[in-house]
Chains A and B, each alone.
Chain A
Amino acid sequence: MEIAGIFKYLYEQLQATGLPQNWVDLISLLAACFMIFGFLALVVLFFVWWERKVSAHFQQRLGPMRTGWHGWFQTIADSIKLLTKEDITPKAVDRPVFYWAPIVAFTAAFAPYVVIPFAKDLIVSDLNIGILFVLAITTFTVISMLMAGWGSNNKYALLGGMRSAAQVVSYEVPMVVSVLAVIVFVGSLSMVDIVTAQQQIYQWFIFRMPFGPIAFVIYLIAATAETNRAPFDLPEAEQELVAGFNIEYSGMKWSVFFLAEYINLFTVSAIGATLFLGGWQGPFLPSWMWFLGKTLFLVFVFMWFRWTYPRLRVDHLMEFSWKVLIPVGFANLIVAGLMKYSGWFNW
């Protein structure tokens, strides 16, 4: 069953009430905002539980088992605890910067959902710069980390913030280059166009030889770094920097960072699914199921990375980006361009 119809029906009902058109638009936009917010909150609750379960089973443990069936209530209990926790602001912090950092992080995490196609015809706004918008907006995360690192007035936090700035800026480049290979082929930045270019399974960009798989792998690596997850979790490297940029945060401010981190995880997985795995396209099942299934698969892959690999060191991290990923990415981009230009394999 497609769910886009429900929203269309609701919109028509709203129009039928006789409100002026700009009111109708405003109400429907606000409704979309709240729906996405609710959806993301649920996704994060699920991810936290899921990550704990996945890691537990990798490590031959059971994970949370006590609250609810297989501990499904655990994250809800944890979030209630976080909401009621004292919010400590240390004396020496730079107050405005310290206060705004989580808000910037959250906004940057939330905004890309404007252009993510959740299902057939289900997208908040099909901007013609879609993917560019996502890449631009997600970069704001690094500003929030710098703010948190600088504003906390703590050396560990500062090191974490500086690391995250260096890391995210370096990995932005290979990520964009890998995405460019897809854009070159589609000829459009719009997310909907990218999805419609991958109608059959053999048209999915991950299966387009030879540039598709390479671009996908580069994207996957760069996305892991972008979301600051292991093996690229240097900004919050627990064993070195204790907690990195968010060391001084507690209670609700900390949980907003946490929320943003998991939303970012969903974002990069959703983009990966849209760009390389055909988005919501797929046989038999309704389109939103395909989208969610592919996204969750990628999320699982990221979790798999996290619980398997040791962490890179900061200089190796830079070397890997500038000396390996970026040259390979550009070579790959040239191959994609040549293929598009010459018309070979142009399915």
Chain B
Amino acid sequence: MDTKELRTEEFTINMGPHHPSTHGVCRFKLTMDGEVIVRAEPVIGYLHRALEKICENRTFPQCIPVMDRFEYCTSMSCNMVFALAVEKLAGIQVPERAEYLRVIMLELNRIASHLIWYGTTCLDLGALTPFLYAFREREDILDLFEMTCGQRLTYNYIRIGGVSRDIPEPFVPKARKFLDEFDARVDDYEALLNGNPIFITRNKDVGVMSKELALQYGVSGPALRASGVRFDLRRDDPYGIYDRFKFNIPVYHNGDCLDRYLVRMQEMRESAKIVRQALEQMPEGEIATKISPVFKAKEGEIYSRIENSRGEMGVYIKADGKEKKPYRVKMRGGSFNQLQVMPHLVVGHKIADVVAIMASLDIIMPEVDR
């Protein structure tokens, strides 16, 4: 009798681009041995909109609304990084009050972005309720943005030379009220998950990213800080007026999903601290320097970078000095590097962990595909 040895076969599973938890249109080709991942290969480009090329055909101020679409969870940061680059390139001064408004908006936007991350992480782990709690707080922030600039997603608020308009009268009291409640709300979130054994076992020692691996792949932001590197552009390469505020940079050392969770939870509190200080110190005055809508930048090139909620966000602009448009624009998003490092993190884990790891890295596809 033929005694064939019993063996198992690897099989390929296609996760995405239509999948409930790939945060947009990411696709993974997963080679699996049962439920265990043997190989993972990310396939990107489903959300490519050629934003960099579009910018080359627009004047500098016209590029700001395009930047809104670069990373729509934190449109303020995208506006900011482009405005900073052009201001450096053209030597434009920004009024004091505008600097404070920028910081307030950026930090509120960071909180809103982290809230989306918190909600979707819980969704991806199968806890459906915290998502709605996170969106309740995010709603307050969006209301603040809406009363300021009329938009809830693509703000087009931070402009070259300042901001588009001053905050209305009820903004400051409403923001203060939000900040007063916010710490207690974060306590609630943590109470819901930090002591939950299911949540802990799902995250502890899952997707461990060593310091070396993180640095090799240029991972930045909370994911890097969870791997034990104390690097935050707000402190290490301060832009705007970030050197005036006191805040802590949370760092954890295991580099697993749980640490990435803890880093982000603390960052929300720190951002709230910064907003409080900024509201305290904000002077009266102008909100923007007048610039011509069709100004020409001097010939030259510039790279500006800021600390976004998903890591280092940068924009490189080259101007040729003849046109009113940028000659070349290149964008850098933190998600791109974090997606590239993912195949190293998921090998040997279960399919459920792919979802957990992706959620903990906070990858957002428009930033990857641009």
* A residues with CB within 8 A of B: 55, 58-61, 155-156, 159, 163, 230-231, 233, 237-242, 307-316
Contact = CB atoms under 8 A, between A and B. Distances in A.
Q: Which 9 A-B pairs have the closest CB atoms?
A: A311-B126, A59-B132, A310-B127, A310-B125, A239-B21, A239-B124, A313-B352, A240-B352, A310-B126
Among B124, B132, B352, the one with the most A-chain Cβ atoms within 10 Å of its Cβ is B352
A163 B21 CA distance: 19
Given A61-B132, A242-B19, A311 B35 contact: no
A155 B10 CA distance: 12
Interface stretch (B147-155, B193-201, B219-227, B265-273): B193-201
B201 A60 contact: no
Contact of B198 (A58, A155, A310): A310
Contacts of A313: 201-202, 350, 352-353
Given A155-B11, A312-B202, A55 B128 contact: yes
B126 A239 contact: yes
Contacts of A61: 132
Interface of B: 11, 13, 19-21, 35, 122-129, 131-133, 136, 193, 196, 198-199, 201-202, 350-355
A310 B350 contact: no
A309 B193 CA distance: 9
B126 A308 contact: no
B196 A309 contact: yes
A312 B355 CA distance: 13
- Which of B122, B126, B132, B199 has the most chain A CB atoms inside 10 A of its CB? B126
A15 B224 CA distance: 80
Given A59-B129, A239-B124, A239-B355, A310 B20 contact: no
- Interface residues of chain B: helix, strand, loop or mixed (majority): helix
Nearest to B30: A155
Contacts of B133: 59-60
Contacts of A55: 128-129
A314 B350 contact: yes
A156 B202 CA distance: 21
A231 B21 contact: no
Contacts of B198: 231, 309-312, 316
Nearest to B349: A313
A324 B152 CA distance: 49
A316 B131 CA distance: 24
A311 B127 CA distance: 7
B184 to A, nearest CB: 16
Contacts of A310: 122, 125-127, 193, 196, 198-199, 202
A246 to B, nearest CB: 15
Among A59, A230, A240, A242, chain B packs the most CB atoms within 10 A around the CB of A240
Contacts of A316: 198, 201-202
Contacts of A309: 126-127, 196, 198
A310 B118 CA distance: 13
A134 B262 CA distance: 45
A60 B126 contact: no
Contacts of B123: 239
A313 B199 CA distance: 10
Contact of B136 (A60, A163, A237, A238): A60
A325 B50 CA distance: 55
22 contacts: A59-B129, A59-B131, A59-B133, A60-B132, A155-B13, A159-B35, A233-B126, A239-B20, A239-B355, A240-B21, A242-B19, A242-B20, A307-B128, A308-B129, A309-B127, A310-B126, A310-B196, A311-B202, A312-B201, A313-B202, A313-B350, A316-B201
Contacts of B136: 60
Nearest to B126: A311
Nearest to B127: A310
A238 B20 contact: yes
B153 to A, nearest CB: 21
Contacts of A237: 126, 352
Contacts of B355: 239-240
A341 B201 CA distance: 40
A305 to B, nearest CB: 11
Nearest to B206: A313
| Among A241, A242, A311, A314, residue most surrounded by chain B Cβ atoms (within 10 Å) | A311
B127 A308 contact: yes
Contacts of B125: 239, 310-311
A30 B33 CA distance: 49
Given A58-B129, A230-B126, A240 B199 contact: no
Nearest to A243: B20
Given A156-B13, A239-B355, A314 B20 contact: no
B351 A307 contact: no
B286 to A, nearest CB: 41
Nearest to B131: A59
Nearest to A158: B11
Nearest to B354: A240
Most buried by A among B131, B196, B354: B196
A184 to B, nearest CB: 30
Contacts of A59: 128-129, 131-133
B157 to A, nearest CB: 29
Given A59-B131, A156-B13, A311-B352, 14 more contacts: A55-B128, A61-B132, A159-B13, A230-B126, A239-B123, A239-B126, A239-B355, A240-B21, A240-B351, A240-B355, A310-B126, A312-B202, A313-B202, A314-B350
